[in-house]
Amino acid sequence: MYRYDEFDHTLVRERVDQFRGQVARRLSGELSEEEFRPLRLMNGLYLQLHAYMLRVAIPYGTLSGRQMHKLADIARRFDRGYGHFTTRQNIQYNWPKLSDIPDLLTELASVEMHAIQTSGNVIRNTTADPYAGAANDELEDPRIYAELIRQWSTLHPEFSFLPRKFKIAVTGAPHDRAAIRFHDIGLQMRQNSAGERGFEVVVGGGQGRTPVIAQTLRAFLPKRDLLTYLEAILRVYNMLGRRDNIYKARIKILVQSTGIEKFTELVEREFGEIKGGALALPDDEIARISAYFAPPAYELLSEDDADYLAARRTDREFDTWCRINLKPHKQLGYAIADISLKRSGGIPGDATADQMDIMAELATRYSFDELRITYKQNVVLPHVRQADLLAVWKEIDAAGLATANVELASDIIACPGLDYCNLANARSIPVAQRISTALTNSGRLEEIGPLRLNISGCINACGHHHAAEIGLLGVDRKGKEFYQITLGGNPEDNAAIGQVIGPSFSYEAITGAVETVLDTYLANRQDGERFGETWGRIGPRPFKEALYGTA
């Protein structure tokens, strides 16, 4: 895992000092709220409905046991005993006091953490495949490159007042688990015919009120040119992106207005000017960062663990959890274990301080001191020996964390919604709670199979509803909460945007409507089809008829 050196420590300490000064100037009235706003936003501090909200960066979703313990400690001391893991692999605290923030940041800095660039019109925390370094299909660990991007983009003097926020995602595997085509820039490692590795660069993806799938800007970019090329894209965007309308300021709108050919030409021309310059990545710098992500000291195991297999045969609940929540690890005898933060009736992504401590402890004991946060708002123990899985499962089960539903329909992504957010039109959390309860009680989750169901409380789409097979969007209809259903979205390979199926449903009716959609899917599904495939084959009509009757 990446460890801060003196350089990183210095920067974070200086940032805390700077922000302490800014808070003092705000509290004394020297800074107006308008002037303070972009400064606090560059430190992840939002003003929400009821209180300030602080968003803490978890670079590419990787953290150590010690760091997770600190997040728990902060939840107890500065919040109300819990935290909320987000779709950007970060954590949010919903109830800190402004005057406490500098001390909170000092606590974070003690474990190499911060809130730099988790908000504001800057390059945000770079996200990555949550199974990086463990997945059995990856070419290289994408965190090496995410870390290089983190360093390059941190307090970038030219790109700290962009037209709008800017999100970059990286994957090192052919199967996209980072939703790269829904980011401003997505990077997917590729190998060319000469056997060299580089990146496919996609640009202009995003959600919000104008959902767009990113388009390919470069089919193959040598690793050496990665940061130079990113600088060229950002410079073109910084100069040409719209600044007159916040809703048209993302890079996706610029790419749409120029067209991908013209945009490519602009970027390539700028890249041509700076190629091979100070940002070219020498092999030894890539090697230096790679060393931080060297594989842990796995035990060399020659076969699957016999006791683990026996336990799966005798304990049905354990077997179910293993079947649903484990992913194959590249190292024989190990597994990637997802810990679901989506218990039936729970708040998606929330964890209590005690739960964080337990996950931290398990990581230290059983997963080489590593944890991951997924954009689907779950936690991962990336490297667990099969022989330890039963012990891990027993402990998380006792902590209410053994929900066996990863990637199933109750593994819902939801934004904080009207319970917290001053942008929301409708609540997301109670809808997620009602749907997960209903689906769990129906006993059909496994029968339905893998299915992405996401909920956003407003058109800003923080709950990724566009990218869901079943997406729910909260809308305000004459002062009442209603929910529009979109169907057929897909966040990852074959990325797609969901299509609105018809008029929205009331808060009371939406759970039943979701069940109707699922019934229709099951009634029409052919062998092995995922929802998106059935949808692609039969189209909207059967769903419309089931939801609205034949008109």
User: According to CB under 8 A, which one of 238, 378, 454, 520 is a site residue for another protein?
Assistant: 238
Tell which one of 243, 365, 477, 530 touches another protein (CB under 8 A).
243
Tokens of 356: 């964080």
CB atoms within 10 A of CB 261: 8
Query: Is position 17 an interface residue for another protein (rule: CB under 8 A)?
Result: yes
Among 1, 22, 271, 326, binds another protein (CB under 8 A): 22
> Which CA distances in Å does 419 have to 13, 51, 272?
34, 12, 49
Other C-beta atoms lying within 10 Å of the C-beta of residue 90: 24
* Phi, psi of 238, rounded to the nearest 5 degrees: -60, -35
Residue 287 or 509: the one with the smaller Cβ distance to another protein is 287
Query: CB 273 → another protein: shortest distance, Å?
Result: 7
CB 450 within 8 A of CB 477: no
Sign of the dihedral defined by the CA atoms of residues 441, 443, 446, 447, in that order: negative
**Contact indicator for 427, 417 with CB cutoff of 8 Å:** yes
Pick from 39, 57, 48, 58: nearest CA to 94: 48
Which residue lies nearer to another protein by CB, 238 or 340? 238
What is the C-alpha to C-alpha distance for residues 531 and 525, in angstroms, rounded to an integer? 8
Residue 289 C-beta: closest distance to another protein, Å: 8
Map the footprint of another protein across residues 269-328, applying CB under 8 A.
273, 277-279, 282, 284-285, 287-288, 291
**Toward another protein, which CB reaches closer, 185 or 335?**
185
From 10-18, 186-194, 323-331, 473-481, give the range in contact with another protein by CB under 8 A: 10-18
Nearer to another protein, 40 or 465 (CB): 40
Residue list 365-384, contact with another protein (CB under 8 A): none
Binding pattern to another protein, positions 106-125, x when CB under 8 A?
---------------x----
Q: Does 14 bind another protein (CB under 8 A)?
A: yes
Looking at residue 286, its amino acid is I
Looking at the Cβ atoms of 237 and 482, the one nearer to another protein is 237
107 neighbors 73 (Cβ within 8 angstroms): yes
Under a CB-based contact definition with an 8 Å cutoff, are residues 185 and 202 in contact? yes
Nearer to another protein, 35 or 307 (CB): 35
Pattern 137-166, another protein, x by CB under 8 A: -----------x--xxxxxxxxxxxx----
Residues 75 and 356: beta-carbon distance below 8 Å: yes
- The distance of closest approach from Cβ of residue 36 to another protein in the complex, given in angstroms and rounded to an integer, is 10
Q: What are phi and psi of 308, to 5 degrees?
A: -60, -45
CA distance 411 to 451: 8
Q: How far is the CB of 262 from another protein (least distance, A)?
A: 16
Q: What is the nearest approach in angstroms of another protein to the Cβ of residue 231?
A: 8
Site map (CB under 8 A) of another protein, residues 174-213, x = contact: ----------------------------------------
CB nearer to another protein: give 256 or 290.
Answer: 290
Nearer of residues 36 and 85 to another protein, judged by Cβ: 36
| CA–CA dist 205, 237 (Å, integer) | 14
Residues 258-277 contacting another protein, CB under 8 A:
273, 277
Specify the residue for token string 């688990």: 177
151 or 320: CB nearest another protein: 151
Binding segment toward another protein, per CB under 8 A, in 17-25, 124-132, 166-174, 205-213:
17-25
Rounded least distance, CB 166 to another protein, Å: 12
Rank residues 14 and 307 by Cβ distance to another protein and give the closer one.
14
- DSSP structure class, residue 125: P
**C-beta separation of 31 from 22 below 8 A:** yes
Residues 6+ apart with CB under 8 A from 108: 56, 70, 74, 114, 115
- For the chain, the distance separating the N- and C-terminal CA atoms, rounded to the nearest angstrom, is 59
Q: Are 90 and 416 in contact (CB under 8 A)?
A: no
Number of chain residues interacting with another protein (CB under 8 A) = 44
C-beta closer to another protein: residue 285 or 319: 285
Spatial CB neighbours of 90, under 8 Å, sequence gap ≥ 6:
55, 56, 57, 58, 118, 125, 373
Question: Cα 91 to chain center, whole Å?
Answer: 10
Residue 325 · residue 340 · CB < 8 Å: yes
Region near another protein per CB under 8 A, out of 15-23, 133-141, 305-313, 362-370: 15-23
Q: Calculate the alpha carbon distances from 209 to 170, 177, 335, 425 in Å.
A: 24, 23, 38, 13
Name the minimum Å distance from CB 453 to another protein. 37
Q: Residues interacting with another protein, by CB under 8 A? A: 5-8, 10-11, 14-15, 17-18, 22, 30, 35, 38-39, 121, 148, 151-162, 227, 235, 238-239, 243, 273, 277-279, 282, 284-285, 287-288, 291
